[in-house]
Structure 1
Amino acid sequence: MRSVWAFPALLAALSVLGPFSIDTYLPAFSGIAGSLSASPVQMQQTLSAYLLAYAFMNLFHGALADCFGRRPIVLWGLATFALASLGCALAQSIEQLILFRAVQGLSSGASMVVSRAIIRDVYPPAQAQKVMSQVTLYFGLAPAVAPILGGWLYTWFGWHSIFWFMTLLGAGLWAVNWRALPETLSAAQRQPLQLKPLLQGYMELGLSARFLLLAISSAVPFNGMFVYILASPEFLGSHLALQPTQFFWMFLCTIGGIMAGAIVSGKMAGTLAPKKQIRLGFLIMAAACLLNTVISLCDVKLPFVAIPPLGIFSLGWAILMPPITLLVLDINPARRGMASSLQACINSAANGVVAGAIVPLVMHSTWALALASASFWAIGLIAWIVLHRRWPDIGRTHAPAS
């Protein structure tokens, strides 16, 4: 199974479970609300319950994989996700749906978090970056495909069919991984499941300036693009005067940027030092921020002018994300699962803060949106500069394979 394409494809498939769980059922919100007599607030709780559970459990998937091995955590996560999706499909009340959505959130992150650790277990650094780029490409493609597929399923078969699809997706991934996923962490490399060493591991990693600066330098800039996605009804509908049926142009542009950046990053692996790739990513994002700011200050509200900078920004982020993630995983090779968990948790926390606190403040002004986007880029750049000054050799060459 560990062929040139098959094993990376398997790992990439594991990364799409989270995006599909979030986005596939969004087109059916009104249908679910009508069927279960749910209010808009209750429908929002089906999303909030998932996201909160997802962020919380991301702290533990990797640490558990360091203790019990990669394969059991992936399989248990997929099995639990399939059962939770079945519960959603059979839900007879909004309360039941919220409960099973929370269980989906608790389980869906296992495949993504652990797959990152598996990549570094199996591949040497340059090849690991190529595989990580493939995973990033699939991760970027999933949010585009999921709502389209969900809309078709809802239109043809009703909202229950969306969760039946998720059930089949989880069960199918479980069957494939049961047959094809090897254990990549030997028994000798596993960490004991003891509270004190586990807390010490979290403490050491969570208080590591090197880890935090690396995590911030990738997590915060992502929100330079994400803030526009979260504010899309206001940005696209009010500011750019687009119809809802035309919103896909922005998503097509940003997702296209992520996919192109992932491909470029994969091509650079082994030929350009990680430090130079990360610098290139920040420079591309800087150009996008400058262009975006000028457009907003000039009050240009033509969609074909205002949207492309977001795709350029996404391109830069997708170029720097794989090498930064690998640098995170290599801080402590014995705790790669935990590092992946904490990185995912920081990403989720940053996204949550932006969604809950920043977007409501800036979405009514294109200038404020551009300023927020540039600020997220600047925070990430500052974190990288501080990191580089303190550890000048980081990312200069690929670390030797362990």
Structure 2
Amino acid sequence: MNPDASTIWRGPRWLLAALLACLGMLGPFSIDTYLPAFTGIAQSLGATPVEMQQTLSAYLLGFALMNLFHGALADSFGRKPVVLVGLMVFTLASIGCAMSQSIGALVLFRALQGMSAGSGMVVSRAIIRDMFPPAEAQRVMSQVTIYFGVAPAIAPLFGGFLFVHIGWHAIFWFLVLVGTLLLGVMWRLLPETLYPGQRQPFNARHLMRGYWDMVSSARFMALAFASGVPFNGMFLYVLSAPVFLGEHMRLGPTQFFWFFLMTIGGIMGGAWFSGRLAGRITPQRQIRWGFIVMIVVSLLNLALNLTLPPSPIWHLPLIGLFSLGWALMVPVVTLLVLDEAPTRRGMASSLQACIGSVANALVAGAIAPLVMHSTVLLAVASSLMTAVGVVAWIWVRPRLTLPTHADLKRAALDLK
């Protein structure tokens, strides 16, 4: 934590959380906005469904690749410069997407979008831990998740409206506007939170040593898998949305909003509960509750898919409940990941995000195309991803030193 945190930011906590949420939402917002136009873009550019799927894979692979470096750069040069440069590149890449006349050009600029969009998400996590002690950081992380949830919920609504009434190019011009506005706001309001004494040297040897220390840490990797892989149990449905919603659920482009409303509503609800529980129950108990919700929903989803015909009436609420379970536990696990490397939190955030993004890209490029045409296979794949997270947490839990109820009570008294 930055020892000067109290003087760096004097505004209300919710405003800082809102700024960080705006940074964190840019990545998923860039995905959800154009999903309703998938079919229209394919027809306009003469692309096959597999080629269109690669616009997602390229974005996610670019996202994963640069996530390895955003945090390390922020540890060396400061949080704010990395955010501003990322927003500049994102805006330019969005212009390229809007002006694309071939599927190859669109894939290229989507990859560039992905490489730049992750800077905000990675750096915002480090900023939270720069500014707040553990329990307070969990509350802010939960607030960020709540605010973050609003944007992806409305993104497909904007995307569907722009596609139907103007055309798919308008979706990316809209993202140009979003990037420009965020650049101006962050330039004006975002503080620099990296303490000068905590800056890390930026050289290849130092970076490789830092990455190796984390990758070779079984605890770090298990925590990263516990937070990142289960997310794909829900994200698989987002990536498969054009087929899942259009073919299986028989919803129109402007009706995709209901799916994202359920999903993001679950994330916001879980994040709200996570913030309320911060400092009241132990982290391990909160994480256990989140996994229990995801396990129960996964098994119920699989059973219903095996016995009932597909229907949005029960499909969509179950996905929302799964999202709630994930959001209940992920703020806590994320802070545990960052605290595994207290002097390199930017790098830790980078590597955690990279692991999650690689899993996302694998799901988008390989798993989703294989299972999206069957609701049963979607349910099986989602359950397996949940199982990976559960196994990782069961393994790492006994190897962590976590606060007890007595520790929480002492921390509460110290705050008073």
Counterpart code for 1:348: S
Taking a change above 3 Å as real, the CA distance of residues 367 and 52 of structure 1, as seen in their structure-2 partners, is: closer
1:242 matched residue in structure 2: 250
TM-score normalised by the chain length of structure 1: 0.89
Q: CA separation in 2, counterparts of 1:259 and 1:335?
A: 29
Taking a change above 3 Å as real, the CA distance of residues 43 and 309 of structure 1, as seen in their structure-2 partners, is: closer
**Deviation string, structure 1 residues 194-245 (Cα, Å, up to 9, x no partner):** 1111100000011111111111111121122223333445555555x53435
2:3 matched residue in structure 1: none
State the secondary structure of the residue aligned to 2:229: helix
Matched ranges for 1:182-261 at <5 A: 182-232=191-241, 235-236=244-245, 242-244=250-252, 247-261=256-270
Q: CA separation in 1, counterparts of 2:242 and 2:32?
A: 16
**Deviation string, structure 1 residues 99-146 (Cα, Å, up to 9, x no partner):** 333322221111111011001101111121111112222333322211
Q: CA separation in 2, counterparts of 1:228 and 1:41?
A: 17
State the secondary structure of the residue aligned to 2:201: coil
Q: CA separation in 2, counterparts of 1:103 and 1:3?
A: 34
Q: Does 1:70 align with 2:89?
A: no
Percent of pairs with identical residues:
59
Q: Does 1:385 align with 2:380?
A: no
Equivalent residues of 2:61, 2:358 under 8 A apart: no
Q: CA separation in 1, counterparts of 2:43 and 2:246?
A: 25
Give the counterpart of 1:125 among 131, 134, 137: 134
Matched ranges for 1:314-393 at <5 A: 314-391=323-400, 393=401
Q: CA separation in 2, counterparts of 1:4 and 1:131?
A: 8
Q: CA separation in 2, counterparts of 1:222 and 1:190?
A: 32
Matched ranges for 1:2-401 at <5 A: 2-29=11-38, 32=41, 43-91=52-100, 94-232=103-241, 235-236=244-245, 242-244=250-252, 247-299=256-308, 301-391=310-400, 393-394=401-402, 396=404
Counterpart code for 1:139: F
Taking a change above 3 Å as real, the CA distance of residues 158 and 339 of structure 1, as seen in their structure-2 partners, is: same
The offset of 1:147, in angstroms, is 2.0
319-328 or 341-350, larger mean C-alpha shift: 341-350
Counterpart code for 2:138: Q
Consecutive unaligned residues in structure 2, runs of 5 or more: 1-8
How many equivalent pairs are there?
399
Q: CA separation in 2, counterparts of 1:362 and 1:30?
A: 19
Counterpart code for 2:219: R
Equivalent residues of 2:156, 2:256 under 8 A apart: no
The offset of 1:46, in angstroms, is 3.7
Equivalent residues of 1:300, 1:306 under 8 A apart: no
Taking a change above 3 Å as real, the CA distance of residues 221 and 40 of structure 1, as seen in their structure-2 partners, is: closer
85-94 or 328-337, larger mean C-alpha shift: 85-94
TM-score normalised by the chain length of structure 2: 0.87
Equivalent residues of 2:62, 2:111 under 8 A apart: yes
